[in-house]
């Protein structure tokens, strides 16, 4: 669908970053969710206000088997050399493994566990499908940082996701601590849209998964955004098995891991079926399927 209206222009050649209005709501329905795993009214308010919600340890019973499966996949001969495997910028340590729900029934089942799927459906008030899945491993001492960015900005520009009706539900496979390279967020930043200067290099993802540059805002707009958010950076921490819901447009980064403890997390990007991608707003070809699921889209069922 080329020529779709672009409500969230970014990397369209401007010389400076700018703040734009977010014209969409943060949560898309306030009805209660079926079953025991729906979020409470207070949890919905936290997500709406901060842009993320932490549920400590609720999927701890899946951690051991998911970690074992990850170990298996990391050395599986059929994965060696595949583009889904991304290494650290300055070592051979695995940084990311994409498409895990397609490689593994165990990962696929985790994505459909109602403890993560029910709240995702509730927050987006719709049937959902997986736009992207990945494991990010941040090895002790070696794991390097990710620059500040809004995921939605990338998904919009590079994948054609029209609106911020998309979120990440993720599971800690290690304890996430203040200083082992946790996600750092600007709470409340999801209520603003940062339109980033410049344009998107062709096949940007070949570099951006190691070191993101296009789409990462400069210091002036970051200071302005931080000020709007009370100059507060928060780390997202908790024990293994913690589940986090993180609104697609939340400004976040993650620092190096200088600690002697590794930090591995499993991410599922859930998109509303009413928010199916159009042609990328960068005007470029869509990214490969392990980064951006192509049609047809089937609703996930628990």
Interface with a copy of itself in residues 233-252 (CB under 8 A): 233, 235
Selected from 23, 64, 76, 141, the binder of a copy of itself by CB under 8 A is 141
Count the Cβ atoms, other than its own, within 10 Å of residue 34.
Answer: 12
**Contact window for a copy of itself (CB under 8 A) among 12-20, 106-114, 126-134, 254-262:** 254-262
Which residues are within 8 A (CB) of 179 and not within 5 positions of it... i.e. 6 or more apart?
258, 259
Using CB under 8 A as the binding rule, whether residue 222 contacts a copy of itself is answered as yes
Q: CB of 222: closest distance to a copy of itself in angstroms? A: 4
Paired tokens of 40: 């409470």
Using CA of residue 201, residue 272, residue 53, residue 50, what is the dihedral sign?
Answer: positive
Residue 285 found at the interface with a copy of itself (CB under 8 A): no
Give the one residue of 125, 226, 273, 279 binding a copy of itself; rule: CB under 8 A.
Answer: 226
Choose, by CB under 8 A, the member of 13, 36, 230, 260 that binds a copy of itself. Answer: 260
Contacts 24+ apart (CB under 8 A), 293-300: 293/129, 293/130, 293/131, 293/132, 297/129, 297/273, 298/129, 299/127, 299/128, 299/129, 299/273, 300/111, 300/112, 300/117, 300/127, 300/128, 300/129, 300/130, 300/270
3-state secondary structure of 83: coil
256 binds a copy of itself (CB under 8 A): yes
Q: Measured between alpha carbons, how far is 260 from 278 in angstroms, rounded to an integer?
A: 43
Q: Decide: is 177 part of the binding site for a copy of itself (CB under 8 A).
A: yes
Q: Is 54 in the site for a copy of itself (CB under 8 A)?
A: no
Closest CA to 300 of 121, 107, 139: 121
Q: Is 93 in the site for a copy of itself (CB under 8 A)?
A: no
Q: Is 230 in the site for a copy of itself (CB under 8 A)?
A: no
148 vs 270, beta carbon nearer a copy of itself = 148
CB of 154 to a copy of itself, least distance (A): 18
Cα atoms in the 13 Å half-sphere on the side-chain side of 279: 9
Does position 179 bind a copy of itself by CB under 8 A? yes
What are the start-end ranges of the E strands in 202-260?
A: 234-236, 243-247, 251-254
Stretches 5-13, 48-56, 70-78, 221-229: which one binds a copy of itself (CB under 8 A)?
221-229
Q: Give the CA-trace dihedral at 198, 199, 201, 202, to 10 degrees.
A: -170
187 binds a copy of itself (CB under 8 A): no
Q: Binding residue for a copy of itself (CB under 8 A) from 98, 103, 107, 148? A: 148
C-beta of 69: minimal distance to a copy of itself in Å? 24
Query: What does the alpha-carbon distance between residue 258 and residue 282 come to, in Å, rounded to a whole number?
Result: 36
Q: How far is the CB of 183 from a copy of itself (least distance, A)?
A: 11
Given the rule CB under 8 A, which residues bind a copy of itself?
140-141, 145, 147-148, 177-179, 184, 219, 222-223, 226, 233, 235, 253-256, 258-261
């Amino acid at each position: 669908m080329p020529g779709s209206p672009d409500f969230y222009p970014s990397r369209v050649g401007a010389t400076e970053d700018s703040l734009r209005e977010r014209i969409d709501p943060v949560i898309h329905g306030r009805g209660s969710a079926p079953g025991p795993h729906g979020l409470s009214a207070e949890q919905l308010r936290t997500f709406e206000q901060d842009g993320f919600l932490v549920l400590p340890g609720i999927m701890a019973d899946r951690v051991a088997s998911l970690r074992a499966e990850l170990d298996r996949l990391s050395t599986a001969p059929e994965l060696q050399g595949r583009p889904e495997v991304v290494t650290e910028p300055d070592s051979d340590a695995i940084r990311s493994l994409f498409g895990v729900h397609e490689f593994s029934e165990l990962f696929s089942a985790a994505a459909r566990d109602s403890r993560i799927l029910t709240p995702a459906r509730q927050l987006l008030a719709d049937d959902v499908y997986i736009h992207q899945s990945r494991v990010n491993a941040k090895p002790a001492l070696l794991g390097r940082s990710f620059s500040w960015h809004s995921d939605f900005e990338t998904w919009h520009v590079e994948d054609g996701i029209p609106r911020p009706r998309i979120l990440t539900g993720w599971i800690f496979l290690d304890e996430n601590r203040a200083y082992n390279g946790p996600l750092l967020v600007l709470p409340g930043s999801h209520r603003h849209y940062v339109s980033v200067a410049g344009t998107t290099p062709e096949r940007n993802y070949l570099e951006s998964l190691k070191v993101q540059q296009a789409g990462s805002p400069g210091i002036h707009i970051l200071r302005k955004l931080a000020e709007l958010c009370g100059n507060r950076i928060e780390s997202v921490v908790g024990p293994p098995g913690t589940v986090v819901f993180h609104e697609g447009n939340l400004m976040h980064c993650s620092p190096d891991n200088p600690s002697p403890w590794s930090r591995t997390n499993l991410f599922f990007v859930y998109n509303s079926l009413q928010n199916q991608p159009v042609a990328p707003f960068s005007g470029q070809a869509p990214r490969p399927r392990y980064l951006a699921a192509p049609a047809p889209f089937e609703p996930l069922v628990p």
